[in-house]
Amino acid sequence: MSHPLSTRLVLWYARHQRQLPWRKTRDPYHIWVAEIMLQQTQVETVIPYYERWLKRFPTVARLASAPLAEVLTNWEGLGYYARARNLHQAAQIVVEQWGGQVPRTLADLRTLPGIGTYTAGAIASIAFGLDAAALDGNLKRVLARLFDVRQDVKSAEGEKALRRLAESLVPPGQAGEYNQALMDLGATICTPRTPRCEACPVQSLCRAYRLGVQLERPVSRRRAPIPHRQAAAGVIRKNGRILLVQRPSEQLLGGLWAFPQAPRRARESFAAGLARAAREELGLGIAVLSEIHRQAQTFSHFRLTLHVFECRWQNGKASGANCRWVRISALDDYPMGKADRQIARRLRAP
């Protein structure tokens, strides 16, 4: 029998669910794409990417056979590019090992790159109707409030308590609706800073509301402030072309193209660091001219300020497979991270 909370949530979802493009389908590949895009990214941002993606890669097989550069180009702007690389690799595994059919069990889904416990639960419950919970940060917040969970939700014991709760509440045969109801409740009513308890369909069952502690739940360790790094980037020009380098696939923004960068070393100016890195890493002699732009970007675990310098090639080849001399008009053909794309746009501006 279902828990009264699940019953009420599923009824509320039937009447008030958000109309989202991935809710019009049971195609497991489409639901998988949406779930990967929604990790770390807001719904409104995801919608146009999701729709474009499925026009370009409507099936697992089409995605698997596409070159990585095209996959990254279609992901450009969504950030966290490991998601795109994993999705591409996982699509190839699905084609090679599963005959193009997305695997149907939690254990099999979790063998695919980029699919963790949450995403496996979401795909299994929404696409295949399995009785699986899907517990992400939003759902943890909602459950911590509903059941007044006092453990730190980021601790192992807090995580375990919430998982037990989430699993015990799954209504048999309705896990997809239940998980999505919790997602919608967390996104539209039980929001992080200002929960709208007056509009909440499960207010009478909420322990944190009853105790007046909803703003104190979930309990969470204070996050340490993220470090601020500084680096130089060079717009190195040679005969009307500009040098781009492709980032190694195992690194941050792997597979994307970038203007050559040099992290700042102690007692070294940005300009000197850039000239040194060009010499040591690319075998190039360059003249570093003036700083033309400063670009700030926030990643999940650090902030970066990029000091962008105009540079002139002097000698050397930089001819490796990961180096290209590119005309300004062709910069759009190369998938880039946000900061590099901003620099490229400035170069193209009249």
Which is closer to ligand SF4, CB of 203 or CB of 230?
A: 203
148, burial (CB in 10 Å: exposed 0-12, middle 13-18, buried 19+): middle
Facing residues of 291 across strands?
A: 309
288, burial (CB in 10 Å: exposed 0-12, middle 13-18, buried 19+): buried
Which is closer to ligand SF4, CB of 73 or CB of 214?
A: 214
CB of 185 to ligand SF4, least distance (A): 7
What are the residues binding ligand SF4 (CB under 6 A)?
142, 145-146, 189-190, 195, 197, 200, 202-203, 206, 208-209, 214
Q: Are residues 296 and 305 in contact, defined by beta-carbon separation less than 8 angstroms?
A: yes
CB of 210 to ligand SF4, least distance (A): 9
Sequence-separated (6 or more) residues with CB below 8 Å from residue 140: 153, 159, 162, 218
Q: Tokens for 174? A: 């309705």
Q: Are residues 17 and 185 in contact, defined by beta-carbon separation less than 8 angstroms?
A: no
CB of 139 to ligand SF4, least distance (A): 11
CB of 248 to ligand SF4, least distance (A): 44
Which is closer to ligand SF4, CB of 22 or CB of 209?
A: 209
3-state SS class at 305: strand
Length in residues, the chain:
350
Which is closer to ligand SF4, CB of 49 or CB of 209?
A: 209
163-183 in b/e form (b: 16+ CB < 10 A) is bebbeebbbeebbbbbbbbbb
- For the chain, give percent helix, strand, coil, nearest 5: 50, 15, 35
**What is the number of other CB atoms lying within 10 angstroms of the CB of residue 284?**
23
Which is closer to ligand SF4, CB of 85 or CB of 140?
A: 140
Does the active-site annotation cover 291? Answer: no
CB of 290 to ligand SF4, least distance (A): 54
d(CA 87, CA 304): 27
Query: The tokens 């509301």 sit on which residue?
Result: 209
Whether omega for the bond prior to residue 218 falls within 30 degrees of 0, making it cis, is: yes
CB of 135 to ligand SF4, least distance (A): 16
Which is closer to ligand SF4, CB of 185 or CB of 331?
A: 185
CB of 182 to ligand SF4, least distance (A): 10
Which is closer to ligand SF4, CB of 211 or CB of 287?
A: 211
**What is the number of other CB atoms lying within 10 angstroms of the CB of residue 97?**
12
Active site residues: 35
